[in-house]
Amino acid sequence: MFGTSRGKDPIRFVVGGGEMLEGISQAVVGMQVGESKTLTLAPEQAFGPRDPGVERRLPRTALPEDVRVGDRLIAHGGGRQERVWVRELGEEFAVVDGNHPLAGLTLTFDIELVSVQPSDQAP
């Protein structure tokens, strides 16, 4: 499990609004309030396929001394910024990855529709 809203406020989103994974956004269409379902999303419906072209092998010294695998960083290069995460750490090198950590994975979600509101009242 990588996350849950159980025991917290429900996650609010506009269907088709772009702030929720497209697969989840479309899965709630036709659901009734109180209905639950288990949903399995292919990478294309979730965080996309992995792109090996956005992984970089760097000298270990290019990263902060206290960095750990899984840490998220902002990489600067070529006049732009890119969000990356630390995939691998070795004695002499590190691998940073511009893919979302869940890219390329088939994901399973348990969802429950707790309410429906007109879009002018949504986030």
pLDDT in tens, 10-34: 888 888 888 899 889 999 999 999 9
Domain that holds residue 85: 51-98
- What is this structure's pTM? 0.74
Burial 82-116 (b: 16+ CB within 10 A, else e): eebbbbebeeeebbbbebeeebebebeeebebeee
Asked if 72 and 116 sit in the same domain, the reply is no
Convert the pLDDT of each residue in 61-112 to its tens digit: 999 999 999 999 998 877 888 899 999 999 999 999 999 999 999 999 999 9
* Exposure on the CB side of residue 57, measured as CA atoms within 13 A: 5
CATH of the domain at 63: 2.40.10.330
Same domain, 27 and 39: yes
Gyration radius (Cα) of the chain, Å: 18
Say if residue 42 is in the same domain as residue 2.
yes
Whether residues 44 and 55 fall in one domain? no
Phi, psi of 41 (to 5 degrees): -115, 130
